[in-house]
């Protein structure tokens, strides 16, 4: 059955959110904070096919091969698709995209300001699937205590060993507005600039599933907010604030 262009689903397709000649399904579990809105937007279609599903497997089972169907992943859904689900999507020609991003290109994830880790490493972002880290920027929102504190960013994979994404930088007494960034060269220290501008990452880095951590050698007062810019390298791959 063809979609009525005046229906909610038809209007969504015409509006290009996302545009496809096929059907759009969404994956979200029962605890999703956006569930009421998702269920209002993604009602069963004219064929009686459910469009909101709690697993990739369920959504892909409703997709039709070769129709250009899309599976949209809710921001609150943190499970990566399995190898079998990825194969199913590939076989049917289904794209899996994260809500709020285009089918291609970079995405941004923001982490609200928070106190520094206290002589430990703390997750800034959770990484689901494999992503390409294009840039990461931290901005000091509360002045850092005047006390030596060698600080670095670390990739902490679910499988395998930690990898330092930069060498340490002593962030003692860094003022509000100081911007932290990395160059992408693992041996280069984390960059801190105080002039209202930062150094953008020259070399992208691949991150495996796990977390991206901030590691502080001391227990300093002070707060920092963060922005990660990344590109998914696998269907459903994303970064979310930890």
- pLDDT of the chain along its 242 residues, tens only? 344 444 554 445 433 455 667 888 999 988 988 888 888 878 887 778 888 999 999 999 998 888 888 888 888 887 888 878 888 887 887 888 887 665 446 788 889 899 999 999 999 999 998 999 999 999 999 999 999 999 999 999 999 999 999 999 999 999 999 999 999 999 999 999 987 778 889 999 999 999 999 999 999 999 999 999 999 888 778 888 88
Closest to 182 in 3D by CA, of 170, 197, 167: 167
Residue pair 194/175 in contact (Cβ under 8 Å)? The answer is: yes
The residues, any chain, with a CB within 8 Å of residue 21's CB and separated by 6 or more, are: 67, 68
* Domain residue ranges in the chain: 8-98, 107-241
**Number of neighbours of residue 9 by Cβ within 10 angstroms:** 19
pLDDT value for 106: 77
The residues, any chain, with a CB within 8 Å of residue 6's CB and separated by 6 or more, are: none
**CATH numeric code, 107-241:** 2.60.120
DSSP sequence for 87-106:
HHHHHHT-EEEETTS-SSS-
Q: Six-digit token pair at 165?
A: 């994404």
pLDDT value for 75: 83
pTM of the model: 0.68
pLDDT value for 19: 60
Evaluate the omega torsion of the peptide bond into residue 18 and state whether it is cis, within 30 degrees of 0: yes
């Amino acid at each position: 059955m063809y979609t009525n262009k005046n229906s909610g689903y038809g209007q969504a397709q015409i509006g290009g959110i996302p545009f496809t000649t096929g059907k759009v399904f969404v994956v979200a579990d029962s605890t999703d904070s956006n569930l009421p809105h998702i269920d209002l937007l993604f009602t069963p279609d004219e064929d009686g096919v459910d469009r909101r599903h709690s697993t990739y497997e369920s959504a892909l089972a409703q997709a039709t091969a070769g129709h250009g169907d899309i599976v949209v992943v809710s921001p609150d859904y943190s499970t990566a698709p399995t190898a079998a689900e990825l194969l199913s999507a590939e076989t049917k020609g289904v794209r899996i995209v994260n809500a709020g991003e285009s089918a291609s290109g970079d995405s941004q994830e923001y982490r609200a300001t928070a106190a520094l880790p206290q002589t430990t490493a703390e997750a800034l972002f959770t990484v689901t699937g494999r992503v390409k880290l294009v840039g990461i920027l931290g901005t000091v929102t509360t002045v850092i205590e005047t006390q030596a504190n060698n600080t670095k960013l670390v990739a902490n994979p679910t499988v395998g060993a930690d990898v330092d994404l930069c060498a340490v930088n002593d962030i003692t007494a860094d003022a509000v507005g100081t911007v932290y960034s990395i160059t992408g060269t693992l041996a280069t220290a984390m960059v801190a600039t105080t002039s209202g501008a930062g150094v953008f990452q020259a070399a992208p880095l691949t991150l495996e599933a796990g977390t991206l951590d901030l590691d502080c050698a001391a227990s300093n007062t002070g707060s920092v907010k963060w922005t990660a810019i990344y590109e998914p390298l696998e269907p459903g791959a994303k970064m979310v604030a930890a």
